Structure 1
């Protein structure tokens, strides 16, 4: 596989560095996993509360919404690492539930008061009606009471602040977003099933929903026969999860050749990291977590959740969907302009693979998004009350750190799309080995190869189809479809030299 850049802890904002390195060392996992997850969690907390305008004068608006994925084999501790990183969200969830419980108690008291007032008004209205009848229809007093009753409405129950969800339907996610317009994090333990599910027939609207939700700045309408319509004025969803190399390589192979999935969904995982295993021998690190570092990180996340755009100096305009935004400082603007020029030159390189080009094109918004996230982390760490001078815009330090991340992530993107070149060949070798062992015989169906076998690189229909296509190109077998009276069967007709396992 193509090599990837090693993760440099200096790329992390100071408030998170000790916490992330502590988790990485204690769990013996790549720091890349923890760092990528931490940035996505921060992005989900910021959501639509504030955006960035990457150009000095243009109205281009970027919401710092980011999708992330960590790639590694089943035993790489991807899920436990991400579980540690999302613990600050769990603390915020507990606090939100407690706050919601208190708000509900106040709501119930208010609702009871309104109900009592309305009962009293009903009695007064009835009495006023009798008086009006006696006074030849003079309704002045009656109308005032009716208007008062109309204005005395039972208050809506308070919505609970939600931060994340795991496996929602699009309809439920739309409902949650209606109550949480800043945005939500969809946290998936395994992303392969999620990606594949969105490629199924009948899920086109769901995929369109997520494609639009990545932008973070728009709205969305859902129309379902029999289930009515719903309008989401603020559509912003972050996604985070793990994925195994084998299934991912097969999915990337389809994307690279223009098959299913070639619609920009995979390219939206801008913070996808596929690191090498940790160097050196495994060590049994058994120590207490660094409580000071953990609490410092939590304080930053809590402050991000409580961002006040006005105190930050952010300004909204009519064309920005009402989203307040900052710009770059003068020095940071120069950094971004130079970085953008180099990116655009690279994107025009004819030798660049189309799938990789499409992925890197998304970096146009990634760099300013990361710069905004790092800038906000630094600001809230320096001044939790957010009263630091923000008039100068996103700092040059944040811009340089964001550019470093993009350079680092580009090597992981090259590994990602480089993996598309090998799975079919690896699968072909695995299939040929099974044929030589006699596990696969002439006239066996494609389906029989992957059903119930759990063979490495031959565990799905996509992997077996790709492997068989390679062997067919080399003349080792012929893929033959035959009518069985029901669903057509696809047979593997082996070259005579392979029959009998020879």
Structure 2
């Protein structure tokens, strides 16, 4: 996996001389392919080193992506050191190209005009966030850590090439420009401001950087003496522009036309390596987004090694690799068929685990009957001893009725806490709890007398710690050495608000969410694809042996991260800690759990990659590639998904009703409507008269509609519920 650098020198100002930037001449016959095809290999490091200018060495590399997170191109910086300090720098762009003969390869060639902005996927994931434009990728990475309320971006190829970037992705956004503190920086800011106005942004402001600050200073440099973050924030505030007044008939506020949700990021299926093709084929067979299949696979694999292999970072940080995953979507979105695709692998593995279970069950029946007969004989002996005035002997061990061995399994569905606890006690490898509707599981915690204890048990299921269940109905407490249970289930969007309104005890923050866009069509599977390879691979996970402690009890084996992997994880944990500190509510909790999710997911990926390669030995370390892939999935997919889920659930009911009404008015296209007729004919959430009244009031306040009453039938009597629709609604939509 290629990772862009977050700790390199600033991007150099090369101007728009492509030859000087190391580009291949445009007439060479090689045409860049954007996005990079999924089948394309990684950018070869050998190519990056081969095109280094004489006297320069590789310094850093940055990845540009599409709005969906697909690779677009790379830019690498090369440093020319002098006395141990970079004294010069040059840039080389790298794109994946195809020549006239159809041959494809990576080339040191620049993408033509229309280049995507840096961090375009993050811009797409946070459509309502203000935008900060800086000069250079390193400054962008640094600014993103300083100003977490903003999405930070830049353009490629230096300060004079802003015009070669497509700025239309910022249409309608509030944008602030932070220039480098020199003449070239101010010129770049002026160019960008003009391009932004052409792109029809909502507002543009430029930060007034004090001229007394060091020449060339940017946000990636150390702060000037006496300057702290509050000063930077103060400068940002000075750039604010006067926003137009919304809500009048002349200038209606049409923000309610949005869904209220951030767009869904695409799942990076290429990071699953050998499993990617299986995921895509299973998703196509289900007519479902591949997200559902991929995440069901991750959750199932995590449970398969839940108490068998634990990733370990540093001297004493280890966690079970199980995951808690919620698939959000309507009843027809394909959640259940997608989970079933992964469960087919689990079922095959469970059948393999239970290969000797029939013999074990017969052995149990023999021991049970033997114990029963022994106990009856002993009881008769006790009676005789008591009658004779003698002390009866202690019950022999053979008279104790043994517990029935459970059938080996990975998955358990809709079980009570007591049933789950008993299974966890007798099946030490770990489990996956499956719920068709997670909201029912969450809601049950607050409905019954044991709700508090059940919620506490649920939270403990995540940590893998020892746990004891004491209930009156149980003669003996249930002792669980490592309570490790993953969760996978579906959630309907209208149930999210209730789920997220519970106690802030970290239960929701532990969830990894998937809410992809629903596919617009349905297609039947025409060709049956064999799952033999996938079944065999997944079964390798349940064949892994457990370790044992000094008393012979089953114990997870700790798999250490490599030193490089620990460095990457530590760096990621520091960056996400800053974001968590500045976030609020349930999103702060999700960010706080992100580093743990990366550690868990790195182990799941490492073992998924291993099991699909039949000749590979079991990993003895968690690699840096696994940590980088895991951090990419968490930061580029699961955290944006959390923002999408939490943001929608937090929309006030009044706004949600207004969103439904404004979309119906736009689709209808008329300039007048009767609210009573509309609610009775269309139904849905606006069928209730009070709901329609709330929606109409919100749109009147926004300047989208205004009352236009008349008298029903042209006579005296009750006013009709007639409204006029602002024609700007349709012009803006067009």
Could you tell me the TM-score, scaled by structure 2's length? 0.51
2:601 to 370, 378, 390: 370
Change (3 A) 1:170 1:458: farther
Change (3 A) 1:39 1:317: farther
CA distance in structure 1 between the partners assigned to 2:271 and 2:294 by the alignment: 9
Look up the match of 1:197: 444
Say yes or no: does 1:286 pair with 2:525.
Answer: yes
CA distance in structure 1 between the partners assigned to 2:619 and 2:283 by the alignment: 34
Say yes or no: does 1:323 pair with 2:556.
Answer: yes
Look up the match of 2:641: 412
Look up the match of 2:587: 356
Q: Over the residues paired in the alignment, what is the CA RMSD in angstroms?
A: 4.3
CA distance in structure 2 between the partners assigned to 1:212 and 1:113 by the alignment: 38
CA distance in structure 2 between the partners assigned to 1:439 and 1:430 by the alignment: 16
1:49 to 308, 317, 337: 308
Look up the match of 2:348: 91
Q: Does the CA contact (< 8 Å) of 1:13 and 1:374 recur in 2?
A: no
CA distance in structure 2 between the partners assigned to 1:79 and 1:153 by the alignment: 47
Higher relative contact order (CA 8 A, sep 6+): 1
Change (3 A) 1:116 1:459: farther
Look up the match of 1:303: 540
Look up the match of 1:483: none
Change (3 A) 1:83 1:380: closer
Please list the CA deviations of residues 256-294 of structure 1 after superposition, one character each: whole Å capped at 9, or x if unmatched.
xxx434332222212x1111234xx63635333321xx2
Change (3 A) 1:317 1:4: farther
Change (3 A) 1:458 1:368: farther
Say yes or no: does 1:427 pair with 2:657.
Answer: yes
Q: Does the CA contact (< 8 Å) of 1:221 and 1:229 recur in 2?
A: no
Look up the match of 2:510: 268
1:386-465 to structure 2, matched below 5 A, reads 387-388=617-618, 390=620, 393-407=621-635, 408-422=637-651, 424=653, 425-427=655-657, 437-438=675-676, 456-457=684-685
Change (3 A) 1:3 1:317: farther
Say yes or no: does 1:215 pair with 2:454.
Answer: no
Look up the match of 1:478: none
1:23-172 to structure 2, matched below 5 A, reads 23-54=282-313, 56-57=314-315, 59-96=316-353, 99-109=356-366, 150=396, 152-153=398-399, 156=402, 157-172=404-419
2:494 to 243, 246, 250: 246
Look up the match of 1:177: 424
Q: CA deviation at 1:68?
A: 0.6
Q: For residue 48 of structure 1, give the secondary structure of its aligned residue in structure 2.
A: coil
Please list the CA deviations of residues 100-121 of structure 1 after superposition, one character each: whole Å capped at 9, or x if unmatched.
2221123334556778899999
Q: CA deviation at 1:251?
A: 2.7
Change (3 A) 1:71 1:436: same
CA distance in structure 2 between the partners assigned to 1:373 and 1:417 by the alignment: 26
Q: For residue 223 of structure 1, give the secondary structure of its aligned residue in structure 2.
A: coil
1:20 to 261, 269, 279: 279
CA distance in structure 2 between the partners assigned to 1:182 and 1:285 by the alignment: 37
Q: Does the CA contact (< 8 Å) of 2:312 and 2:558 recur in 1?
A: yes
More helix by share: 1
Query: Bigger radius of gyration, 1 or 2?
Result: 2
Say yes or no: does 1:332 pair with 2:579.
Answer: no
Please list the CA deviations of residues 77-116 of structure 1 after superposition, one character each: whole Å capped at 9, or x if unmatched.
1111111221122223444555322211233345567788
Q: Which runs of 5+ in 1 are unaligned?
A: 130-142, 442-448, 475-497
Q: For residue 241 of structure 1, give the secondary structure of its aligned residue in structure 2.
A: strand
CA distance in structure 2 between the partners assigned to 1:118 and 1:27 by the alignment: 56
Say yes or no: does 1:347 pair with 2:584.
Answer: no
Change (3 A) 1:197 1:388: closer
CA distance in structure 2 between the partners assigned to 1:410 and 1:120 by the alignment: 64
CA distance in structure 2 between the partners assigned to 1:419 and 1:17 by the alignment: 30
Q: For residue 215 of structure 1, give the secondary structure of its aligned residue in structure 2.
A: coil
Q: How many pairs are equivalent? A: 429
Q: CA deviation at 1:192?
A: 2.1
Moved over 6 A (4+): 113-123, 315-318
Q: CA deviation at 1:296?
A: 2.1
Q: For residue 333 of structure 1, give the secondary structure of its aligned residue in structure 2.
A: helix
Please list the CA deviations of residues 108-139 of structure 1 after superposition, one character each: whole Å capped at 9, or x if unmatched.
3455677889999999x99xx9xxxxxxxxxx
Change (3 A) 1:416 1:116: closer
2:484 to 236, 245, 252: 236
Q: Does the CA contact (< 8 Å) of 2:436 and 2:490 recur in 1?
A: yes
Change (3 A) 1:380 1:500: same
Could you tell me the TM-score, scaled by structure 1's length? 0.72
